[in-house]
Structure 1
Amino acid sequence: MHGVSGASADKILDHPIVVRVAGDRHAGFYRPRPGTGAAGGAAAGVAVEAYRWGSLTAGAAVRTASMLLLLPFMLGNLAIWLRPRSADRFGLLGALCRLLAASLTAALMLAIIGATVNLLGWQCVPYAQCRQGRPYLSWLVALPVGPRLALLSLIPLLALRLCWTIGARSARAFEGFGPTSPEPKPSELTESLTTPGFWDDERITSWLRQIHVGIGAGTVDVSLLAGLSAGRHDTIRLLLLDAAAALVMFCAVLLCLPVPTGPAQARRLLRPLWAIVATVTGLSLAYATTTRSVDEAVVGQLPGYEGAAAGLIATQGVLLVAIAVVALARTRQKTDPAESRPWLRGLGTPVVAAMSVSIAAAFTATLVFRVADYLDRGYIPDPLRPNPPAYGPLEPPVAYWWAALAGLTALLIVTAAAAATVLLTRYRRRILARRIVERDFPHVPPHAAARLRLVRTTIARSQVTEELGPMLVVFFVVSALGLATVALDLLGIGPTELVSRLSGQHDGIGLLAAYVTDAGIWFISLLVVGLILLGYRAYRSRETRRLVAIVWDLGTFWPRTVHPFAPPCYAARAVPELARRVSALAAQGPVVISGHSHGSVLATATILQLPPAALPSVALLTYGCPLRRVYARLYPAYFGDQALRDLGDRLDWRWRNLWRDTDPIGGPLFGHHRGAQPTLGNPAADAVDIRLRDPRAVTIDPADTVPPPVERHWPYHTQPEYQEAVRYLAERAGHASTDSPVAGPEPPL
């Protein structure tokens, strides 16, 4: 099994002519065509089969490009899986993460409302200078304010429907493998990757998807009805506003409750929810359409919109703090003292959650600011430099000004922290690299000194992976400090106005602050535009599509149990499909599962889902494996020390792991290198890791013209140690299966 970025089947098999023997174009199993020779490097008597799953993330161009717009949702879904203990998937931490994910949906709706209902319908259309030369806007002035806002409110509702479609259309391709066991209870899903049905997330995703639609529609209803408050204060509007707010609160309560265990229970809750959503939204639009007495002389933001944007940011800040507190508390509740310390001391969940909020803020602020910039023809108004009266106010909410400035500050500080981390750890990494090189190449002729320096540099750079923690901690701290602006958001004080008040003047420092804020807005906008261009490039170029897919290979591995609009989980298909295929092949003879890089993670998840009857015939070979170095630290609840030991016990330690010091991703699993914990004296575990010297030599072989290359992360399968490991594991799996009823005469695979 290949790693990220999706290698082709002929490259995996090192054979020019391959044929698919199982699966489909999304994910398939390939072998060399009969009669065309064996796969490259195949051991004698071993049949080689490749599983190509890369098209699940780097397949359709439209799907890959659209995933860039779903990046905040993906990070919001990923955050819950970095928690230190599995018991919180449906507990307090899980509820907080689901509420934060709901705030991302509300933020998306508020941004679209801000660009359409607020800027376009409320602030621009009433002013002749703003709509001059824009016939597509001129006809809106003929509509009263109520019908105009109701019409423009359809745009965020259509966007909500689009998110639903993107999330649901891939269910058959990605999530078409339903559970092979009875429906698991939520409490059972918190145990481990061995739980039957763990990867079946369609039930949870469908439940969350309909709740998020209710939150999105309720946000549109509340914004529309609050915007009509400048007119008559009649009882009908107040009742509808209360009903819309109650709808949002009811959906929030549903997110805190356990997911229904069966479809009947889900229908009992969702049918009334759908009826309420349709009724409240329909009545809100009908009320706005029939309201014609709204005072158009009101200047400024759409009534209630400024407070809604600031209140949402305040809510997200409170949720992030609560998530951090709960995550730290769970970290201190370790039940196994032998477990290694989780990454970032348990702050992985709040750090990634903060990333999702920050990127969502960048997306929403960019949308609102760029629409405002387009409508006022290039002016960037603020309290010091207002628009000409003929253009109208055309000002985004103060919360977005703070979000843009905070985003620029966080990016600059994190960049500085990353540079400082690399520089401060440089000496220590070089010392480690020097020791490794001196051990591997004790006697080097003088003419190979340059080659030796290159090897030392490569090893030192490969250690940077372990040094990313402080940079991310700084990011979370900066994000937490940004919560201090929540009070200013609620007071409606922007960055330039605050500086002017503190400095006591309206020029000089205040003008400089205005330009700095403008620069932050443009910088954040350029980053978002760059992502959009990357999405367009992914649509046109297959190579770019594969590059983008690397992000999704890592971010969409886990089921969608927090945000339903996130890109679909490809493992929901890959793991059950692999388990089914391996079980069928194990009934014919011994099977060695060989996984490179992220493919080793899929192999691990597959073995943990295999039925007991197939396990005696299965062995595992991993290389360039990030299980210990990355996954055990990021996801201690599922790939921690105990999970790796359990995996070895399930296979009776028919497991070998190849690694190199020059590999920036893979590493040992049970050794002492790079801070790994000892194996408590288990000889079988000590034999799993096999270190490969890289390069094999620093001098030029007499039969060659250049020195051996530094292989780093690829390839491994061309090394003699790989073939030896395959033969050893196939023999052990064959002996283990002789006493099992699944043994057969077929050659090992």
Structure 2
Amino acid sequence: MSGGTAERMLDHPMVVRVAGDEHAGFYRPRPGTGVAGGASAGVAVEAYRWGALTAGAAVRTASMLLLLPFMLANLSIWLRPRSADRFDLLAALCRVLAGTITAAFVLSMVGISLDLVGWQCVPYEWCRQDRPYLSWLNALPMGARLSLLSLIPLLALRVIWGMGRRSARALEGFGQPAPHPPTSYREKLTTPGFWDDERTPAWLRQIHVVIGVGTLDVSLLGGVSGPEGSAARLLLVPAMGLLACCAVLLCLPVPTSSTRVRRILLSLRAAAAAVTLLSLGYAVRAGHVPPVAGQLPGYEGGVGVLQSAQGVLLVLLAAVTAARPRTTTGSRPFLAGLGTPVVAAAAVTVAGAFASTLVFRVADQLDRGHVPGALRANPPGVAPLDPPVAYWWAALAGLAALMILAGAACTTYLLTARRRRRVAERIVAQDYPDVPPQAAPRLNAVRQAIARSHVTEELGPMLVAFFLIAALGLAVTTFNAIGLGPTQLVAELTARPTGTALVTAYITDAGVWIISLLVIGFIILAYRSYRSTQTRRAMAALFDLADFWPRIVHPFAPPCYAARAVPELAKRVSGLVGTGKKVVISGHSHGSVLAVAAILQLPPDVLRRVALLTHGSPLGRIYTRLYPAYLGQQTLCEIGEQLDWRWRNLWRDTDPVGGPIFVGHRAKRPPCGVPEAESVDLRLRDPRAVTIDPTDTAPPPLERHWPYHTQSAYQTSIRELTEQIP
């Protein structure tokens, strides 16, 4: 089982699908064309190809890059140090933070349509000159113009809502509905219906749509209220009450009663529709709103308040995560167990970078390349297309975070080089004790490959980088709250404000452009993923870590492919066992994670006829550290016990992804406390030799992460596991 092609997995050129469909299916060699490569006679070899769920659809793969902030927000909760309790404050905070990211997305669209176009550009002749697509808007009163332009954020919200609903129909809810649906905050992978629950993303999707609509209503009413807009200020109360109601619902578990869910969502949608229609109607009737120079009234304050709220939520997330006891995993957890606030902060940073890039690039297009700013006054008659202060800070914070992370990565690589070389030298000396001098170059290449493959375990400096970024984010939040921009701050702190502030302005502009180029690079990569199959597969492999988990925090994240793959695989295994067959599940790389998740869903009578073979598996090396609450070593020990230790794991020191399953055990104490667990991990020497065989012209290749199934140890493990099945 792997994400590659069926022909490659079966090592056979002609295959036929025996179950599933073109997105995910089970394949065997075509009858009459021989057996799969290396298979024994009488043994049926079957490949499960699930890679099309992540890399098969070009549009889906490209959308993963564009939906990156939502994906990171959804991933954050799965990195928590221990599973949920009855009152899961951590999950509630993650959901509220995810709601603010949706609001930030809508605010960026409001900044483009209502603020830059409707309020700042259209009233100025120089801005709308030679632009017939904008000129006609000048004939409309300001209120009607803003009301009409409000359709753009609504349309953008409708697009991402449609993407989430479409992916839910394609992947989620694949299996039969669970008789006892899980709670919103799931505790273990063994929970019935863990993967095939469609209620949670559907519930969250409706709430996030209302959050987006409420954000638009508040922005529109704030813009048209004016000094005499008492009715608009009166309408702000239900609009803000709508957002508060959504925040409360995000903190509560999904109701188990479908009738109650429909009643709550129907009331929420009706209230949102009523408030939106009243807001749009009031804006149209308001007519000519008194003009105010600068930005849309209330818009800059709204962006600053939202980013301040995100900063407070991140602080609470870090505090709650640090206060919770850790789950014993047998290995060092990712970022000292602070993975949840780290990834949540990354989601906020990426969302801010996306929003600032979008707003700045539209502003740059509208003002025909003229860079706005207090130190570079606009020519007479030119629209003051100046984005909010918060976006200037977001661009600078994103640039600083990028530089800090790059510095931490370089520091990690350099500071751990000596330790990794020592480990590589010890392994090479053990595997190749007597090497002739002419094989020294090949031996050095093997040593370097081993040293590079062990960089995955070295993440210490990244924790320092997180704290630096967090401190930077708190400072930015403070400046946003008081409306102080970068140049104004420098001017206040220096005795010679003009020159220093001008340098700061150029640095800020550079930060905006660099962040913009990075986001544009993401868009280009998304386009390449749409056009190129190889790029699509590479990107899908990177996103496997995030899209593996159900959407219980942000409903607009890319779909969870495991919601189909795990129930489908468990059903296929149960069906084969039901016909009296022995089943050895073989999972390579991320396929081993799907195999483990499927085994946790199998009933005991099926498990008695099942064995597990993993190879190139990231379970012990990556997953126990990233997701200690769900795939920690305690869970892996439970899987071994359920299988009666019919489990083998093949790994190589040159593999940058795979490794041993039980990485935390010591020689004096067997893993999981039982001697049988010591037989799980089987290390393969790579390469087989560093000298050239007399019958060959080149030394054996470095296999690294692929292949494993062509090795003799693989076939031996299959035979041994088959014999162990009763």
Provide TM-score, normalisation by structure 1. 0.94
Equivalent residue in structure 2 for 1:540, among 527, 531, 543? 531
Q: Which amino acid aligns with 1:503?
A: T
Deviation by residue 1:344-389 (Cα, 9 ceiling, x = unmatched): 2210011111111111011000000001111111111111112223
Gap change, CA 1:78 and 1:57, over 3 Å in 2:
same
Equivalent residue in structure 1 for 2:706, among 701, 714, 722? 714
Which residue of structure 2 aligns with residue 237 of structure 1? Answer: 232
Return 369-378 or 671-680, whichever deviates more. Answer: 671-680
Equivalent residue in structure 1 for 2:180, among 180, 183, 196? 183
What is the SS of the residue equivalent to 2:364? helix
Shift of 1:469: 4.2
Shift of 1:223: 0.1
Correspondence list, 1:366-385, <5 A:
366-385=357-376
Which residue of structure 1 aligns with residue 100 of structure 2? Answer: 103
- 8 Å contact 1:231–1:293 — kept in the other structure? no
Q: Is 2:524 the partner of 1:527? A: no
Shift of 1:231: 4.9
Which residue of structure 2 aligns with residue 327 of structure 1? Answer: 321
Which residue of structure 1 aligns with residue 248 of structure 2? Answer: 253
Equivalent residue in structure 2 for 1:394, among 385, 389, 402? 385
- 8 Å contact 2:342–2:466 — kept in the other structure? yes
- 8 Å contact 1:125–1:141 — kept in the other structure? yes
Q: Is 2:143 the partner of 1:146? A: yes
Distance of 2:400 and 2:667 partners within structure 1: 33
Return 445-454 or 496-505, whichever deviates more. Answer: 496-505
Gap change, CA 1:571 and 1:469, over 3 Å in 2:
farther
Q: Which amino acid aligns with 1:289?
A: V
Return 102-111 or 664-673, whichever deviates more. Answer: 664-673
Return 278-287 or 503-512, whichever deviates more. Answer: 503-512
Return 615-624 or 509-518, whichever deviates more. Answer: 509-518
Equivalent residue in structure 2 for 1:418, among 399, 404, 409? 409
- 8 Å contact 2:81–2:629 — kept in the other structure? yes
Which residue of structure 2 aligns with residue 282 of structure 1? Answer: 277
Q: Is 2:219 the partner of 1:228? A: no
Correspondence list, 1:496-575, <5 A:
496-575=487-566
Deviation by residue 1:612-648 (Cα, 9 ceiling, x = unmatched): 2211110000001111110011101111121011000
Distance of 1:526 and 1:257 partners within structure 2: 40
Q: Which amino acid aligns with 1:144?
A: P
Equivalent residue in structure 2 for 1:46, among 22, 27, 43? 43
- 8 Å contact 1:90–1:186 — kept in the other structure? no
- 8 Å contact 2:607–2:643 — kept in the other structure? yes
Return 161-170 or 82-91, whichever deviates more. Answer: 82-91
Q: Which amino acid aligns with 1:639?
A: L
Which residue of structure 1 aligns with residue 128 of structure 2? Answer: 131
Correspondence list, 1:567-606, <5 A:
567-587=558-578, 588-606=580-598
Q: Which amino acid aligns with 2:61?
A: T
Q: Which amino acid aligns with 2:246?
A: C
Shift of 1:666: 0.8
Which residue of structure 2 aligns with residue 60 of structure 1? Answer: 57
What is the SS of the residue equivalent to 1:170? helix
Distance of 2:322 and 2:670 partners within structure 1: 25
Distance of 2:619 and 2:62 partners within structure 1: 29
What is the SS of the residue equivalent to 2:608? helix
Shift of 1:176: 4.1
- 8 Å contact 1:670–1:676 — kept in the other structure? no
Shift of 1:186: 1.3
Which residue of structure 2 aligns with residue 263 of structure 1? Answer: 258
- 8 Å contact 1:80–1:89 — kept in the other structure? no
Gap change, CA 1:445 and 1:672, over 3 Å in 2:
farther
Gap change, CA 1:589 and 1:475, over 3 Å in 2:
same
What is the SS of the residue equivalent to 1:614? helix
Gap change, CA 1:696 and 1:550, over 3 Å in 2:
same
Equivalent residue in structure 2 for 1:193, among 185, 189, 203? 189
Equivalent residue in structure 1 for 2:209, among 203, 213, 221? 213
Shift of 1:119: 0.6
Shift of 1:680: 5.2
- 8 Å contact 2:221–2:235 — kept in the other structure? yes
Which residue of structure 2 aligns with residue 83 of structure 1? Answer: 80
Deviation by residue 1:405-426 (Cα, 9 ceiling, x = unmatched): 1111111121111111111100
What is the SS of the residue equivalent to 2:207? helix
Q: Which amino acid aligns with 2:650?
A: L
Gap change, CA 1:671 and 1:185, over 3 Å in 2:
closer
Q: Which amino acid aligns with 1:644?
A: L
Which residue of structure 1 aligns with residue 469 of structure 2? Answer: 478
- 8 Å contact 1:658–1:691 — kept in the other structure? yes
Distance of 1:519 and 1:238 partners within structure 2: 39
What is the SS of the residue equivalent to 2:613? strand
Q: Which amino acid aligns with 2:139?
A: A
What is the SS of the residue equivalent to 1:45? coil
- 8 Å contact 2:182–2:194 — kept in the other structure? no
- 8 Å contact 2:589–2:617 — kept in the other structure? yes
Q: Is 2:255 the partner of 1:299? A: no
Q: Which amino acid aligns with 1:325?
A: A
Deviation by residue 1:453-476 (Cα, 9 ceiling, x = unmatched): 111111111110011342254135
Q: Which amino acid aligns with 2:295?
A: Q
Q: Which amino acid aligns with 1:568?
A: P
Long gaps (5+) in structure 2: none
Equivalent residue in structure 2 for 1:345, among 311, 333, 336? 336
Provide TM-score, normalisation by structure 2. 0.97
% identical aligned pairs: 65
Distance of 1:450 and 1:544 partners within structure 2: 33
Long gaps (5+) in structure 1: 737-749
Gap change, CA 1:561 and 1:671, over 3 Å in 2:
closer
Gap change, CA 1:90 and 1:621, over 3 Å in 2:
farther
- 8 Å contact 1:331–1:346 — kept in the other structure? no
- 8 Å contact 1:88–1:94 — kept in the other structure? no
Distance of 1:8 and 1:655 partners within structure 2: 25
Q: What is the aligned length?
A: 725
Equivalent residue in structure 2 for 1:724, among 716, 719, 723? 716
Gap change, CA 1:674 and 1:27, over 3 Å in 2:
farther
Shift of 1:651: 0.3
Q: Which amino acid aligns with 1:56?
A: L
Q: Is 2:12 the partner of 1:15? A: yes
Distance of 1:676 and 1:272 partners within structure 2: 62
Shift of 1:434: 0.5
Which residue of structure 2 aligns with residue 312 of structure 1? Answer: 306
Distance of 2:415 and 2:46 partners within structure 1: 46
Which residue of structure 2 aligns with residue 452 of structure 1? Answer: 443
Distance of 2:535 and 2:463 partners within structure 1: 27
Distance of 1:636 and 1:89 partners within structure 2: 19
Which residue of structure 1 aligns with residue 603 of structure 2? Answer: 611
Shift of 1:433: 0.6
Shift of 1:238: 2.0
Distance of 1:678 and 1:463 partners within structure 2: 23
Distance of 1:19 and 1:285 partners within structure 2: 57
Gap change, CA 1:259 and 1:677, over 3 Å in 2:
farther
- 8 Å contact 1:201–1:560 — kept in the other structure? no
